[in-house]
């Protein structure tokens, strides 16, 4: 996906809205469904924000279990502040997370949104690959707007 953040300055603040519905799964280890990542041609960076379930729990100001929301549409809103290197996440209009970026902006990379399921694989103690169970998620009505001129 092309970066929606075509020109990054120290005054950029964005609002990202979408609906998300978890159909099944999300009971495994570190299952991310939304990220603000950073990269550009020849320049890779680490994710700035990863929103993920771990063992069926989404952690924020409170903990939400996958069972609490599975099958229901959830309104997701993020205020992404490139000025303060912070973000706020609202679920169904209730503040869920206030946090700082996981890492700093890489000078050569541009932030971009990643929707989808991302999770690490791992090997058991006997060296065999442990397969992940299937998880399914729907996204709808995605909107991004710059909040400052």
Minimal CA–CA distance to 21: which of 71, 76, 75?
A: 71
Predicted model pTM: 0.85
Q: Would you state the pLDDT for residue 76?
A: 98
Q: Read off the pLDDT of residues 34-71 as tens digits, 9 standing for 90 and up.
A: 999 888 888 878 889 999 999 999 999 999 999 999 99
Give the number of other Cβ atoms within 10 Å of residue 31's Cβ. 24
- 64 neighbors 50 (Cβ within 8 angstroms): no
Query: Which comes out higher in pLDDT, residue 147 or 133?
Result: 147
Q: Read off the pLDDT of residues 65-105 as tens digits, 9 standing for 90 and up.
A: 999 999 999 999 999 998 889 999 999 999 999 999 988 77
Q: Would you state the pLDDT for residue 68?
A: 96
pLDDT bucket at 10, cuts 50 / 70 / 90: low
CA dist., res. 84 & res. 6, Å (int) = 19
Query: Which comes out higher in pLDDT, residue 29 or 137?
Result: 137
Minimal CA–CA distance to 27: which of 69, 57, 72?
A: 57
User: If you average pLDDT over residues 128-135, what whole number do you get?
Assistant: 82
Q: What is the chain's mean pLDDT, rounded?
A: 88
């Amino acid at each position: 996906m092309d970066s929606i953040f075509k020109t990054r300055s120290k005054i950029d603040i964005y609002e990202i809205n979408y609906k998300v519905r978890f159909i099944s799964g999300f009971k495994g280890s570190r299952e991310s469904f939304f990220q603000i990542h950073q990269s550009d041609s020849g320049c890779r960076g680490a994710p700035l924000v990863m929103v993920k379930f771990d063992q069926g729990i989404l952690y924020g100001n409170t903990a939400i279990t996958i069972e609490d929301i599975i099958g229901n549409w959830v309104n997701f809103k993020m205020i992404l502040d490139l000025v303060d290197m912070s973000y706020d996440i609202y679920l169904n209009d209730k503040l869920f997370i206030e946090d700082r970026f996981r890492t700093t902006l890489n000078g050569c990379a541009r932030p971009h949104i990643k929707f989808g399921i991302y999770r690490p694989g791992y090997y058991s103690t006997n060296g065999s690959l442990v397969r992940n169970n299937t998880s399914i998620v729907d996204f709808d009505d995605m909107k991004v707007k710059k909040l400052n001129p």
